[in-house]
Structure 1
Amino acid sequence: MKKSYLILSILLTASLLSCKKEEAATKEMPAMPYKVVEIQKSNTTLIAEYPVTLEGVTDVEIRAKVDGYIEKIYVDEGQEVRKGQPLFKLETLTATQDAGAAKAKVTAAQVEVNRLKPLVDRKIISDVQLETAKANLASAVSTYQSIIARINYATIKSPVNGIVGTLPMRVGSYVSSQTAEPLTRVSDISSIYAYFSVNEKQQLDIMMNSDGKSFQEKVNKMLPVNLVLSNGMAYEQTGKIETFSGQADSQTGSFNVRAKFSNANKLLRSGGSGTIQIPTKLNDVIIIPQSASLELQDKRITLIVDKDNKVKTVPIEVRAVSGGKFYVVDKGLNVGDKVLLEGIGIITEGTAIKPELVPMNDVLNPKTESTPTTK
């Protein structure tokens, strides 16, 4: 019996000692180290992107001024043409015959005027007959000139230097000034206009962060813009924003914007598309890595360390910096706050940690092209 009590006593003692050891181990467990960065003000450039449509500086629809069948097509699709160069010729056989008859009437009317003039001078006949003959001559000349103009209009010439578009009509097609589809389009693409739209907030963000006092001065001083082509490649030339529409569209609330790009090599074509990139310089702003934040229930949060080295959740409002690595924080953080660089989504609020301070310059990595620079 005594032996049983002794064994039970030993087991209880061992159990108590084990619990005390576990409790001591728990109390002595050190806070885990996590990397943090102390917030500073920095300078950066935001890149806003908008889809664009491309048009030549002049994009002219070519239409027939007179009716007729297409007799000749002098150009091909995509051909470069000069101002005044013939593009199409319409059939003029009937007009030529009409011109011959009209010319004969002009000659006859002139003869009549020449015959009556000396008679009037000698007062053999009244002036009325001569004036009537002159009026008939003027009418005949007008008719003749109208027919000649119709013949000239039958040769359709390019009004500008440019590139020929598609040719939907073929030789033998009947066209008129009322034909819905143009014969072709000629686009002057020595320079290209890129058209896009921005909403009111975007327009204000762009203009309020641009140098200059007046609206036009701000436009003139805007940084050069880049064009990303539809194949994802960057266009070799930078462009310049030239105009914003004077008022917002009543239905969409957006402003139309036009940028201009040089196109000496004719790589860009009217009707193309792409994406324009507009840089905006920002000074003295708070920047954090995107990886140091988390989207939670339609809100973006980050974790900071309080004075007791305990984790605290903070909601923030951000704007993305070009390159997809950083955010500009508009609200939620202050200079001096210590933001966790790791453990986002893992560490719970109130957890005590051992912060390991990382220099801001190391976080922002100024060697990369789109990286902000600290002051």
Structure 2
Amino acid sequence: MGKISLSLITVLLIFSACGKKEEQAAPPVMPYKVVAVAKSNTSLLAEYPATLEGVTDIDIRAKVDGYIEKIYVQEGQEVKKGQLLFKLETQTANQEARAAKAKVDAAQVEVNRLKPLVERNIISDVQLETAKANLASAKSTYQSILEKINYASIKSPVNGIVGTLPLRLGSYVSSQTTEPLTRISDISTVYAYFSVNEKQQLDIMMHAEGKTFQDKIAKMPQVNLILSNGMEYEQKGRIETFSGQANTQTGSFNVRARFLNTNKLLRSGGTGTVQIPTHLKDVILIPQNATLEMQDKRIVLIADKENKVKAIPVEVRAVPGGKFFVVDKGLNANDKILIEGIGIVSEGTVIKPELVDYATIITPEKKAIN
């Protein structure tokens, strides 16, 4: 009897030890961030890097040969149409003008002398006509020299901002000089140029109102411009054009947005980021990186009432920007979806949900500059 009791105790001790080993081997419950989704009205911002250019950027070049005698402006100065920018040396041209004017006067004297002689039939009309032709030729030469002198005073063709001044006083310039004297940029309005790929272009157009392509562009919401310092420009802009076809090398479409620039803050050659809003009503949004694609299906992981991970197939639509999906089917309000551990946590795993505010996931940060 004592032997049987001893054996029973030994068996119980073995089972007890095994139970402890199994208890120790059980995996710990890991924390993972989740969000409780909700239906909402929201605006999503798709962002595209852009370069800025004025309405016109005009290279200022000399039309005649000469040395720079005077520079009347400074780099970055605002100028008006017709304002004097440069003056070229005209000493030689002035001398030529005086000589040409003397020839005009002499030719005029000859015409005046021959007219009465022809009227009295003392000489033939041929001599007078020849004198008139000489007078016309002298006037033409004189006028050409005056135009040359006028071209030596170089004026701004538009209102705008003076660019760099690479040449200095005394520099010799001509119409063949490679480098322009400067560039005048009309920046009363600034264009932001950027590119979108084919998928982005389709997403933008499919969410836009209107029947025709041009009608959709006209009805697109105003866009934002984020400056290179991260601040939002005070003026809203509008998209005006998409290129007619995709670039064969990059597969992208060129887009132009227009921004008023009354305070002249924006400058040609600058950079920024154009934000295109998409307005959505009564929808569930989820981050694209919170989903998996399996066998042509889009999968979302949710934490059920027992905090077990469950895989749910969903039907989604991409929205411009490539960060979010609109969920058309598969999720309900207050479902808790995993936003980390995607592709790592397996279905059926018990987790410790760490709830993250849904609004912080779908609301972009915005800064403004006035």
When normalised by structure 2's length, the TM-score is: 0.81
Map 1:144-183 to 2 at 5 A.
Answer: 144-183=142-181
SS in 1 for 2:220: coil
Decide which moves more: 255-264 or 306-315. Answer: 306-315
Q: 8 Å contact 2:81–2:159 — kept in the other structure?
A: yes
2: CA distance, partners of 1:3 / 1:320 = 78
Q: How far is 1:52 from its partner?
A: 1.1
SS in 1 for 2:154: strand
2: CA distance, partners of 1:204 / 1:321 = 9
- 1:105-161 C-alpha deviation (Å, 9 max, x unpaired): 111111111112222222222222211111111111000000000000000001111
One-letter amino acid of the counterpart of residue 217, structure 2: V
Q: 8 Å contact 1:41–1:335 — kept in the other structure?
A: no
Which residue of the other structure, out of 126, 135, 144, is the alignment partner of 1:128?
Answer: 126
1: CA distance, partners of 2:246 / 2:287 = 35
Identity of aligned residues (%): 66
SS in 2 for 1:128: helix
Q: How far is 1:229 from its partner?
A: 1.0
- 1:65-115 C-alpha deviation (Å, 9 max, x unpaired): 000000000111111111111110000000000000000111111111111
The 3 A distance-change label for structure 1 pair 48 and 34 is closer
SS in 1 for 2:205: helix
- 1:313-361 C-alpha deviation (Å, 9 max, x unpaired): 3577775788x9x731468x524495534774564224478999x9xxx
Q: Residue 65 of structure 2 aligns with which residue?
A: 67
Structure 2 gap segments, 5+ residues each: 366-370
One-letter amino acid of the counterpart of residue 146, structure 2: I
When normalised by structure 1's length, the TM-score is: 0.80
SS in 1 for 2:98: helix
Q: Residue 340 of structure 1 aligns with which residue?
A: 337
The 3 A distance-change label for structure 1 pair 99 and 35 is closer
- 1:3-55 C-alpha deviation (Å, 9 max, x unpaired): 34432233335656x489889x99xxxx9999987877654323111111111
SS in 2 for 1:182: coil
- 1:180-203 C-alpha deviation (Å, 9 max, x unpaired): 010001111122111112222222
One-letter amino acid of the counterpart of residue 337, structure 2: L
Q: 8 Å contact 2:45–2:364 — kept in the other structure?
A: no
1: CA distance, partners of 2:34 / 2:168 = 72
Q: 8 Å contact 2:34–2:338 — kept in the other structure?
A: yes
2: CA distance, partners of 1:20 / 1:252 = 64
Which residue of the other structure, out of 79, 83, 95, is the alignment partner of 1:85?
Answer: 83
Map 1:194-273 to 2 at 5 A.
Answer: 194-273=192-271
Which residue of the other structure, out of 185, 189, 200, is the alignment partner of 1:187?
Answer: 185
Q: Residue 364 of structure 1 aligns with which residue?
A: 358
One-letter amino acid of the counterpart of residue 236, structure 1: E
Q: Residue 9 of structure 2 aligns with which residue?
A: 10
SS in 1 for 2:86: strand
Instruction: Note if 1:52 corresponds to 2:50.
Output: yes
